[in-house]
Structures are given as C-alpha cells and as structure tokens.
Amino acid sequence: AQKVTQAQTEISVVEKEDVTLDCVYETRDTTYYLFWYKQPPSGELVFLIRRNSFDEQNEISGRYSWNFQKSTSSFNFTITASQVVDSAVYFCALSEVNRDDKIIFGKGTRLHILP
C-alpha cells in the first residue's frame, strides 16, 4: 500500500534555529519518487524537491537539505538557520511509477518560525 506519514502535526521554533521535518513512507514498488512541497498562507503549493528511489544522495539547496534513507523509508527535510518566511505547511509526497505517477500526500506539518 502507498502511504506517507508526517508524524509532526505542528512545530514551533525560534528564528535562526535549525528544524527537521520528518517523513516516513510505505511502498511496495522499487521505482518511486519522493517530493516535498511548501504551502505558505497564500495557499499555493510550491515545489521544493523531487528525488527518485535510486538516488540516495543527500541534497542541499541553500538553507534546505534533505536526507533520504531507504533503510528506514524516510525522507526528512531540514531547514538550517530558520527564518520567519519559512513559516508554512510542508507536505511530503510519494508517487509510484507503477501507479501512473499518482502523487499521494502526507497530512502536512505546520511550521511556525517565531521572531
């Protein structure tokens, strides 16, 4: 079965702190993609990253980094030196090649960065 679990419903940190958002997924397929999207108060889902199942290299983009570990079925997202503009709901998602790349989203983690 396809499933994405974001156990952290809501997180609050003070500006400049580092924060990690957890994502655990379930899939029976060997070929799949993992995603992170950001949804600020304006409502638009902003694409952050897509990672395929054969690429376990960690990714860094500015203050954002992602840790993909197939052994634990996790795809965690870390924001370093958080800023108030990082406040948003963050969604982890999974798509499987054998399911026509249909995306299944987690329930999201609401992140509050306090000034």
Partner 1 sequence: EAGVVQSPRYKIIEKKQPVAFWCNPISGHNTLYWYLQNLGQGPELLIRYENEEAVDDSQLPKDRFSAERLKGVDSTLKIQPAELGDSAVYLCASSQTSGGRTDTQYFGPGTRLTVL
Give the footprint of partner 1 on this chain (CB under 8 A).
4, 35, 37, 42-47, 50, 91, 93, 95, 97, 100-103, 105-108
Closer residue to partner 1 in complex, CB, 57/100: 100
User: Closest CB to partner 1 among 15 and 22?
Assistant: 22
Instruction: Find the shortest distance in angstroms from Cβ 58 to partner 1.
Output: 19
Q: How far is the CB of 47 from partner 1 (least distance, A)?
A: 6
Q: Which is nearer to partner 1, 64 or 105 (CB)?
A: 105
| Shorter beta-carbon distance to partner 1: residue 16 or 107 | 107
* 39 touches 45 (CB < 8 A): yes
Q: What is the 3-state secondary structure (H, E, C) of the chain?
A: CCEEECCCCEEEEECCCCEEECCEEECCCCCEEEEEEEECCCCCCEEEEEEECCCCCCEEECCEEEEEEHHHCEEEEEECCCCHHHCEEEEEEEEEHHHCCCEEECCCEEEEEEC
Instruction: Tell me how far, at minimum, the Cβ of 9 lies from partner 1, in Å.
Output: 8
